[in-house]
């Protein structure tokens, strides 16, 4: 066999080998695609089948829920001047914020300054009591209600409600058979006399019971206690309801009140939010100087809300 024939044979074998290699590669590519397809099908089988929602029914349910939600937010509340629940919620929040600002001002100012502030702008007093009413709703009990319950069964007495707010004590007890005189920084009804509580327009020794229900506000609250002593009869009763957290030391507070002419009869601190002091006037009190009053006033700390 000559050299030319051998070369042709080698070329033919090489072509055959290359052709076979192409066939094998094509088979391998096909197998890879097939395996990928099978793996994909197995993966789909493992996943939970999704049920195609009924578009019409799904949209109907969604729209119904949306409608109910909108109705809930915009439902008119006839008890609040025709405002929606959402509007009322926003108003309550704003009232609460304004209340905290005014509240801090009253606790950190003298009574005369607070009186002048309210006198120049009675709307401040209205805003304060709106916020106060909002706060009362969250209390387990209102100290004023407890005081009314205590005084109601008694025989005819003269009561001075000092820092009376909306004069609830007078509303409940006045003329039945008691005589209640109500005082606050602003008069928001005919039962209330507007004044600085350190200067109450009543005669000396004319009152059987004096009440401070969350009303010892101001840096000179000692002056209010001294004024209560002035208008009270000897042996008269002083009722103080105060925020528990304000009383730094209860014993020291009682000694402070003793210096102002009062003797402790009973103390009720069962309520987590408020403490009640029931005292009796044992002597006149007019000899406490300015420096001593400042010192005594430190027995109650201001009621200031945390910043949010």
Q: What is the pLDDT of residues 99-131, one digit of tens each?
A: 788 888 989 999 999 999 988 887 888 888 777
Of 208, 265, 204, 203, the C-alpha closest to 235 is 208
* Residue 44 in this model has a pLDDT that exceeds 70: no
Cis peptide bond upstream of 177, omega within 30:
yes
Q: Chain-centre distance of CA 130, in angstroms?
A: 13
Residue ranges of domains in the chain:
87-135, 141-297
Please give the average per-residue pLDDT across 232-260, as a whole number.
97
Distance CA 124, CA 220 (A): 21
70 token code pair: 């909108």
Q: Which helix (H) or strand (E) holds 243?
A: strand 232-243
* Residue 74 in this model has a pLDDT that exceeds 50: no
3-class secondary-structure state, position 285: coil
Query: Domain 87-135 carries which CATH code?
Result: 1.10.10.2150
CATH level 2 (architecture), domain 141-297: 3-Layer(aba) Sandwich (3.40)
Q: Are 299 and 253 in contact (CB under 8 A)?
A: yes
Q: Are 114 and 218 in contact (CB under 8 A)?
A: yes
Q: What is the pTM of this model?
A: 0.70
Distance CA 308, CA 305 (A): 9
282 falls in which pLDDT band (50, 70, 90)? Answer: very high
Q: Tell me, what's the pLDDT at 172?
A: 95
> What are the φ/ψ torsions at residue 209 (nearest 5 degrees)?
-135, 130
Return all residues near 218 (Cβ < 8 A) that are at least 6 apart: 106, 107, 109, 110, 111, 114, 197, 224
| Average pLDDT value over all residues in the chain | 81
Q: What is the pLDDT of residues 4-16, one digit of tens each?
A: 554 455 455 555 5
* Residue 239 in this model has a pLDDT that exceeds 60: yes
């Amino acid at each position: 066999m000559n050299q030319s024939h051998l070369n042709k044979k080698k070329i033919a074998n090489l072509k055959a080998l290359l052709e076979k290699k192409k066939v094998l590669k094509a088979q391998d590519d096909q197998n890879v695609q097939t395996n990928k397809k099978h793996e994909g099908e197995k993966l789909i089988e493992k996943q939970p089948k999704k049920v195609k929602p009924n578009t019409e029914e799904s949209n109907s349910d969604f729209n119904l829920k949306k409608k109910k939600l909108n109705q809930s937010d915009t439902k008119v509340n006839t008890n609040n001047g025709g405002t929606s629940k959402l509007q009322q919620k926003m108003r309550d929040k704003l009232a609460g914020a304004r209340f905290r600002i005014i509240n801090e001002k009253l606790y950190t100012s003298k009574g005369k300054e607070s009186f002048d502030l309210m006198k120049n702008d009675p709307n401040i007093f209205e805003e304060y009591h709106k916020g106060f009413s909002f706060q009362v709703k969250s209390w387990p009990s209102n100290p004023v209600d407890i005081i009314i319950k205590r005084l109601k069964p008694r025989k005819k007495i003269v009561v001075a409600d000092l820092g009376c707010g909306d004069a609830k004590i007078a509303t409940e007890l006045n003329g039945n058979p008691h005589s209640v005189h109500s005082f606050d920084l602003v008069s928001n009804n005919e039962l209330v006399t507007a004044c600085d509580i350190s200067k109450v327009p009543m005669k000396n020794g004319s009152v059987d019971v004096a009440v401070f229900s969350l009303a010892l506000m101001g840096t000179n609250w000692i002056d209010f206690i001294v004024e209560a002593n002035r208008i009270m009869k000897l042996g008269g009763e002083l009722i103080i309801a105060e925020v528990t957290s304000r009383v730094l030391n209860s014993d020291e507070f009682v000694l402070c009140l003793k210096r102002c002419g009062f003797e402790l009869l009973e103390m009720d601190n069962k309520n987590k939010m408020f403490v009640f002091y029931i005292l009796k006037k044992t002597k006149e009190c007019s000899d406490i100087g300015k420096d001593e009053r400042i010192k005594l006033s430190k027995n109650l700390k201001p009621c200031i809300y945390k910043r949010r």
